[in-house]
Structures are given as C-alpha cells and as structure tokens.
C-alpha cells in the first residue's frame, strides 16, 4: 500500500521569499507523483506531475519539484512567492494501472502556505 | 484542455431529501471518474471509483445505497445523496482521469459542490 506524508501542516513565508513544501511517500512499487493546489472553496488544480523521465519537474505558476527515489521524496519549491500563492497544497501518489491501486490517488494531509506581505 | 465541471456548485436541502451532483469532463472522454469528500481543513477522502458502463467501486465504509453513482457516458458521472442528513453536509469533489498512452494517467478535478443539509 502507498502512503504520503506532508511534513508541515502550515508554512508561513514572506512575499518574494523562496519556499519549499515537503512531501515523502512510501511505496513498494513504482509511483506517479503529483502536486495539487486548492484555493478556498474550490476544487484542486494540478500544479505538476512526475510520471517518468527527468526527475526535475516544472509546473505552472513558477513551481517545480524534484523526484528523489532514494529519499522517497517529492518536495515542491518556488524561488519567489506571491500573495496569490496563499492556498492549500496537496501531494499525491498513485501507481500505474494494472497494480492494485488502479489509478486511485493517495493524498497527503495538505500544507497551508501563508504568504505574508 | 482537461476541464472538469460540477453542478451545482452549492446546494441547500432539507433532511430526508435526495440531492444529485453532476460531474462532466468538458473536453475529453473519461472512462474513469472518482468521487471525493472533503471535510473542513482536511484532505480529500476517496468515496468511490466510477467506471463508464459498469458499477462503481466503493471504498470501505462508504454506503453504496446512500451514495448512488451512475456513469452513463464517457463525459458524465452523477452522485446522488439519498435521504440526506445533516452529517452528509460536506464538500464533494469529483475528478476525471485522462489517460496518456504510454506515459500515465492524470486526474483532473472539478470545482467541487458544497452540500448543506438542514
């Protein structure tokens, strides 16, 4: 079975500062990894994903993440945040079709990014 | 591309009534759709997996007779909360799976439906 741990429930940061949101996963098989952002009272928007290939993945809104298989991590980074980045961020994992998960996403607990002026 | 819509966005109903929520993939066909429930300040909880033309697969602890799912076409799945009670009040979110041949699958989420049962 897979699991996802987001180590920080809240991350306060000042505007224009860099930020890293941490995500670790556990799985005995190969995985796909995702980061989603949720603004208040809205659904989830895909920020970026790792399916295969290059371990450094670039997403929308200036975010990027690096897949580290040895450390089973998929941390999300942005070099300079804006007030508008204030939201809830979810890391998620799934396994390719054909395995027991059949496409189910396993979500972390979420990290609230609070960008202060 | 990969847009998913939900209707309604908000619904208030009386206890004992049934509520239907629609989830549509607007620009792609989705064989598989998922229904989630989210409580305030919490993560998403998968309720069921909806497959076009077949019965939905429910997660452990989710009452299939209370949460009826129908996936009648490749672009539409519906969730009906039957005989709703105040404890069913929640934020319901659907997602549609977009398969990319040879690469992998990605879920795209709808904007969510806020259900309040009085």
Chain A: give the shortest CA distance to residue B54, in Å: 15
Q: What are phi and psi of B87, to 5 degrees?
A: -70, -10
Is the pLDDT reported for residue B44 higher than 80? yes
Q: Is the predicted pLDDT of residue A101 greater than 60, yes or no?
A: no
Cα–Cα distance measured from residue B77 to residue B56, given in angstroms and rounded to the nearest whole number: 10
Provide the percentage of residues in chain B whose pLDDT is more than 70. Answer: 95
State the Cα–Cα distance between residues B90 and B106, nearest whole angstrom.
25
Q: What is the pLDDT of residue A35?
A: 96
* Distance in angstroms (rounded) separating the CA atoms of residues A2 and A75: 17
Q: What are the tokens at B94?
A: 């659907």
Residue that wins the pLDDT comparison between A78 and B53? A78
- pLDDT at site A23: 97
Judging by beta carbons within 10 Å of its beta carbon (0-12, 13-18, 19+), is residue B106 exposed, middle or buried? buried
Question: Strand A32-38 relative to strand B10-13: parallel, antiparallel, unpaired?
Answer: unpaired
**Percent over 90 (pLDDT), chain B:** 68
Q: Is the pLDDT of residue B37 over 70?
A: yes
Interface test with B, best of A37, A44, A110 (most B CBs within 10 A): A44
Please answer yes or no on whether B93 and A44 come within 8 Å at the CB atom: yes
Range from A23-27, A102-106, B41-45, B60-64 carrying the lowest mean pLDDT: A102-106
* Contact assignment for A32 to B105 by CB distance below 8 Å: yes
Q: Torsions phi, psi of A84, nearest 5? A: -70, -10
State the pLDDT at residue A102: 59
Q: What local confidence, expressed as pLDDT, does residue A64 receive?
A: 97
The SS3 of residue B30 is coil
CB contact under 8 A, B110 and A110: no
B88 at the A interface (CB within 8 A)? no
List, for residues B66-112, the tens digit of each pLDDT value. 999 999 899 999 999 999 999 999 999 999 988 765 556 788 999 99
pLDDT tops 70 at residue A42: yes
């Amino acid at each position: 079975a897979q699991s996802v741990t987001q180590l920080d429930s809240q991350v306060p940061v000042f505007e224009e500062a860099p930020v890293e949101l941490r995500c670790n996963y556990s799985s005995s098989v190969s995985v796909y990894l995702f980061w989603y952002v949720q603004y208040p009272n809205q659904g989830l928007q895909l920020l970026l994903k790792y399916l295969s290939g290059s371990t450094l993945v670039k997403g929308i809104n200036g975010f990027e993440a690096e897949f580290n298989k040895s450390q089973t991590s998929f941390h999300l980074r942005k070099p300079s945040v804006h007030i508008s980045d204030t939201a809830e961020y979810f890391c998620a994992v799934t396994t390719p079709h054909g395995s027991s998960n059949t496409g189910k996403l396993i979500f972390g607990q979420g990290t609230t990014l609070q960008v202060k002026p | 591309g990969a847009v998913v819509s939900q209707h309604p966005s908000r619904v208030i109903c009386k206890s004992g009534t049934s509520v239907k929520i629609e989830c549509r993939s607007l620009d792609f066909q989705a064989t598989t759709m998922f229904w989630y429930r989210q409580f305030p300040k919490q993560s998403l909880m998968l309720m069921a997996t909806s497959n076009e033309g077949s019965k939905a697969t429910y997660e452990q602890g989710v009452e299939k007779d209370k949460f009826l799912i129908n996936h009648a076409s490749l672009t539409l799945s519906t969730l009906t909360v039957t005989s709703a009670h105040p404890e069913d009040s929640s934020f319901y979110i659907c997602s549609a799976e977009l398969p990319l041949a040879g690469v992998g699958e990605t879920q795209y989420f709808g904007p969510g439906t806020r259900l309040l049962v009085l």
